[in-house]
Amino acid sequence: MVKEIWNTIGKNCQRVAEEESLIREGEEFRLTDGQQKALKALHSAMDEGKKRMILKAPTGSGKTEVMMRLGVTRHIETSRPVVIVAPTRDLCRQHGEYLEARLHDTPLENIALINGGLEPRKRDKAIKDALEGRTSFIVASALVIDNARYENLLDSACLLIVDDVNAFNEYDHLRHLRRYKGQILYMSATPEAVMSFLKSDGAWNNQVEMQEMPFDTLPTVIETKDVGNCSPLLQISIAEERLREHIERGSRIYIISRMKREVGEIADYLKRRYSVPVFSLHGDMADSKEHQRRARFRRGAIKTKLHRIPMMNEFRNTCPAILVSTNLIGSGIDIPMADFIIITDSHAFSDSEKEQLIGRVGRRERESEALLLEGDSPEKEKELKRLVKFSTRCHSGGKMVYSFSPQRRGRRR
């Protein structure tokens, strides 16, 4: 039975790798040496009874595959569910789709999602199925960590995996994990960002590193440009030539804003300026119409008409296209053929945040670029305004469409 499960998983991995161009035509899907060594080391650590471990691996190195195979083995051994916690609803859905594709047609194909975008009855059903042994993997957002009603679910798990641990807030979320008595695997490309927590939780000295990439990846060309204290629209105007080059190449492009209130305004500007589809992503967007309906009477109700799930699906299937987002996309979201990223106000992001964001491009043997626009100099701003022809007016009707001030702005996700 176990052999049949792994044979089916192997066939599914081969099929997915061919469909998503993860391998060249005619190649066989194989784990890298790094993935095999990481799996062996993690299994050994767990068999020795270690409660806390870290898998440190760069973006694109295949740590999700390691997570899936480790979880499959533990579930088969214990018949108990594996709980995966991800920092965003988008990454939850991505992990769910990843597992469903690879566990299809096996006894482990019952995957459950738990996050704030789902109806309460669906979350309750996921808990019931897990507690009654009908679920192999539960992929959840942070609400399962800090909400006491999910304690029984966590206690039933044979393994808790926290993906992109650096994206969680230590006070709001991570501190609750100290009461969990089972085994936890923390995964991150930059665990140093939460070093103090990982040390206090006993994971720091149990690190497994994985560096080898599953396919030949061309290094992303990173350029930093000083743009003074300019508004995001002026910063994007400075990068116009590079933007048009990538649009002509058929790239998918990310443009990152540190303020969610600016995402819609930037997207509106780009729609008027470029003849390509432009999409938006930020934390105030509902997942669906149903999610928006449930949230309509809450404080700070979601008012935008854009919905994350259909929008992200459309962006994945459109080329060329631009996605304007906050740093949400740094949390593991994988989009095929994303070749160019522009980070506005990049000086406001930490080194680990920038590393995670840059890791979203250039993951399929394609040339990729990252443009970091940073600076805090009013003198530089005056110089650039003299050099760049920039207008915030809509020429059809002469109405003022955008109004950005060059003053400093706070940052929100």
Question: What's the confidence (pLDDT) of residue 293?
Answer: 57
What residue spans define the domains of the chain? 2-209, 221-387
Rounded Cα distance between 9 and 15, Å, is 10
Tell me the pTM. 0.73
Rounded Cα distance between 369 and 10, Å, is 33
At 335-368, the pLDDT tens digits run: 666 889 999 988 888 887 888 788 778 765 667 8
Q: What is the CATH number of domain 2-209?
A: 3.40.50.300
Residue 228 falls in which region: left (phi positive, over 0), alpha (psi -120 to 50) or beta: left
Q: Tell me what the pLDDT averaged over the chain comes to.
A: 81
At 306-317, the pLDDT tens digits run: 667 777 778 878
HSE value, Cβ hemisphere, 13 Å, CA-based, for 225: 19
Question: What's the confidence (pLDDT) of residue 147?
Answer: 84
Question: What's the confidence (pLDDT) of residue 365?
Answer: 63
At 16-70, the pLDDT tens digits run: 988 877 777 788 999 999 999 999 999 999 999 999 999 999 877 889 999 999 9
- pLDDT at 231 > cutoff 90: no
Question: What's the confidence (pLDDT) of residue 300?
Answer: 47
At 100-122, the pLDDT tens digits run: 999 999 999 999 999 887 788 88
Question: What's the confidence (pLDDT) of residue 383?
Answer: 56
* One fold for 2-209 and 221-387: yes
CATH topology of domain 221-387: Rossmann fold (3.40.50)
CB 337 within 8 A of CB 203: no
Question: What's the confidence (pLDDT) of residue 302?
Answer: 46
